[in-house]
Amino acid sequence: MLILRAVLYQLFLLITVIPYSILCLLWSPLPLRWRYKLTAGWPHMAVWGAKHILGIRWQVKGWENLPDGPAVLLSKHQSAWETMFFCGYLPKDVCFVYKRELHRVPFFGWGLALLRMIPINRSNGRDAMKQIVKTGQERLNEGRWPLLFPEGTRIPPGETGRYKQGGAMLACRTNSIVIPIAHNAGECWPRNAFIKKPGMITVSFGPAIHSEGMSQAALNQAVEDWIEGEMRVLNPERYS
């Protein structure tokens, strides 16, 4: 049954992403905010499909912690599910930091390039940090939320990666508040797994952490402490 659901879901993604990507090219002359809302319809649809085809439901803790104004969002990263959820369901446009090479991916990459997020060249680490701060400030000025995964890659449930300081640096350099985000999407949608498991994903938005007066190392540690502490609330059985 799980295999059948997985096959049906992959077909659902395939038959929707190609025409949607073509539509992204067609509405590229529209203002950015319109393009984003229209393009975000596909990840919104993908999360909806995961619920109705795979049985992956979701709930949110801390909606009230999301601000009306500028913020840098720093999130746990376990699967592809949260990337689609953040793009499709958050109340403001989010801007992911990602490697520029993704723009070469047919269909998906083309649509991504049109959203003017924060693509970087990872071959030069110091220059990449400058790109994050410069472009991140521009996106904040546009009223958008930069969203970074401090661990850098998807981490299996129950494990903790090294928290890199790029997001904390962006927040400190721009005097922005940080919203830490914990979730357990990897319980239902394991990394690179074709077969997903039905269940309930909880996304938890933490209280704002103010960067003013903090070093980026201290801010990064505060983010890690909250996220990893909340992970032990969401899935205590994963931690001894």
Residue by residue, DSSP assigns 155-173 as --TT------SHHHHHHHH
Token readout for 119 is: 């693509």
Q: Distance of alpha carbon 237 from its chain centroid, rounded?
A: 25
pLDDT of residue 125: 60
Count structural domains, the chain: 1
Integer Cα distance of 226 and 176 in angstroms: 17
Q: What is the pLDDT of residue 76?
A: 98
Q: Structure pTM?
A: 0.93
Buried (b) or exposed (e) across 27-44, using 16+ Cβ within 10 A?
eeeeeeeebbebbbbbbb
DSSP state of 76: -
Q: What is the C-alpha to C-alpha distance for residues 40 and 234, in angstroms, rounded to an integer?
A: 27
Cβ-contact 127, 184 below 8 angstroms: no
Cα–Cα dist 120/112, whole Å:
13
CATH number of 77's domain: 3.40.1130.10
Of the candidates 148, 236, 180, 143, the one whose C-alpha atom is nearest the C-alpha of residue 62 is 180
Helix (H, G, I), strand (E, B) or coil at 203: strand
Tokens describing residue 233: 């609330």
Mean pLDDT, the chain cut into blocks of 10 residues (240 residues total): 94 91 85 90 95 98 96 97 96 90 75 82 72 92 95 93 94 96 97 94 98 95 98 93
Q: Provide the residue range defining the domain that includes 139.
A: 2-238
Cβ–Cβ < 8 Å for 78, 156: yes
Residues in the chain: 240
